[in-house]
Chain A
């Protein structure tokens, strides 16, 4: 929160892309996730047996597919930013649309996974592992939805020609948030589903 960061142009080297405000949000979110991940490790160390056993019950395939889905959607978002940097509003909106669609795929796969768990009677209070599994994945799930909402707003504005080569901070802002959502899953998936 230096004086400079308030006035510096976004394209000067050393400043993050997009609006600085989103980076405060991203910072807070990553902190929350980070502490949650740390807590997971801490709780696991005290109960390795239970964690390993419960972990086997998770659907690793759907988790892995979802990782691919999100990484691909992140790539689409990168393409959207690249497009608007050349002033191609229409392409930008299309890429964003594709990213949102993949977000939708993620949501659907996740819903199947949750449905299977809930119908097996698993809840936040089943055991510590499932508490973490459900908290982390649902918390992340809500972020995917929020990210899709943000991208949808950006897409709508792009479609109506609201961004240009000179003015496209909004696209970078939405993209930054979406990459955060992707990044969290890339850590969450191996941590909770795979690492034993």
Chain B
């Protein structure tokens, strides 16, 4: 009787299993791609929203904040900030950050010197983000 546990069988299971489950991931992703338009409301991605995402990225906002729970955990969740604070507040807040920081040892947000156009775009992006169907996450408005 040959050995009951062989390397070649272990190898076959590795390759077979990996291929099998990768195919399953591809199949599920395919289904996800079909369903997503109904959940992300991509028809509402205007030029302003797209530009806003770019502003978001260019200033590395994800380095402090979370967006739909992903990012750094240093500053508040912004996926629902449009609902929590409203667009005007967001703009005023970003604009009013002092370049040298606020007094006291509070956590600091830099002054990014955004133009009015960039601020509007950012708000459009955050508003659209807030309308994504996230299965009711976050648990409450505080994010």
| Direct interface between A and B, CB < 8 A | yes
Contacts of B2 in A (CB 8 A): 10, 166-167, 169
Query: Is B23 located at the chain interface by the 8 A CB criterion?
Result: yes
- Residues of chain B from 1 to 39 with CB closer than 8 A to chain A in the complex: 1-6, 9-10, 12-13, 16-17, 20, 23-24, 27, 31, 34-35
Shortest Cβ gap from B114 to chain A (Å): 38
Contacts of A11 in B (CB 8 A): 1
Tell me which of A8, A15, A19, A138 contacts B9 (CB under 8 A): A19
Question: In whole angstroms, what is the CA distance A5 to B5 when docked?
Answer: 8
Question: In whole angstroms, what is the CA distance A25 to B12 when docked?
Answer: 11
Question: In whole angstroms, what is the CA distance A166 to B3 when docked?
Answer: 11
Given A21-B10, A142-B23, do A9 and B16 touch, yes or no (CB 8 Å)? no
User: B-side binding surface: helix, strand, loop or mixed?
Assistant: helix
Are A22 and B24 in contact, CB atoms less than 8 angstroms apart? Answer: no
Are B5 and A20 in contact, CB atoms less than 8 angstroms apart? Answer: yes
Are B16 and A142 in contact, CB atoms less than 8 angstroms apart? Answer: no
Are A146 and B13 in contact, CB atoms less than 8 angstroms apart? Answer: no
Contacts of B5 in A (CB 8 A): 5-6, 19-21
Question: In whole angstroms, what is the CA distance A60 to B9 when docked?
Answer: 37
Contacts of B16 in A (CB 8 A): 146, 150
Tell me which of A6, A25, A124 contacts B13 (CB under 8 A): A25
Question: In whole angstroms, what is the CA distance A21 to B9 when docked?
Answer: 6
Are B1 and A21 in contact, CB atoms less than 8 angstroms apart? Answer: no
Contacts of A119 in B (CB 8 A): none
Are B35 and A169 in contact, CB atoms less than 8 angstroms apart? Answer: no
Among B12, B24, B35, max chain A CB count under 10 A is at B12
Question: In whole angstroms, what is the CA distance A21 to B16 when docked?
Answer: 12
Are A139 and B24 in contact, CB atoms less than 8 angstroms apart? Answer: yes
Contacts of A25 in B (CB 8 A): 13, 17
Contacts of B35 in A (CB 8 A): 123-125
Given A21-B13, A123-B35, A125-B35, do A167 and B4 touch, yes or no (CB 8 Å)? no
Query: Is A66 located at the chain interface by the 8 A CB criterion?
Result: no
Among B3, B4, B23, B24, max chain A CB count under 10 A is at B4
Shortest Cβ gap from A146 to chain B (Å): 6
Query: Is A24 located at the chain interface by the 8 A CB criterion?
Result: yes
Question: In whole angstroms, what is the CA distance A142 to B16 when docked?
Answer: 12
Query: Is A74 located at the chain interface by the 8 A CB criterion?
Result: no
Contacts of A19 in B (CB 8 A): 4-6, 9
22 cross-chain CB contacts under 8 A: A6-B5, A10-B4, A15-B4, A19-B4, A19-B9, A21-B9, A21-B12, A22-B9, A22-B13, A24-B13, A25-B13, A25-B17, A123-B31, A124-B31, A138-B27, A142-B24, A146-B16, A146-B20, A166-B2, A167-B1, A169-B2, A169-B4
Which residues of B are in contact with A by a Cβ distance under 8 Å?
A: 1-6, 9-10, 12-13, 16-17, 20, 23-24, 27, 31, 34-35
The 5 A-B pairs with the shortest beta carbon distances in the complex, nearest first, are A20-B5, A10-B4, A19-B9, A21-B9, A21-B10
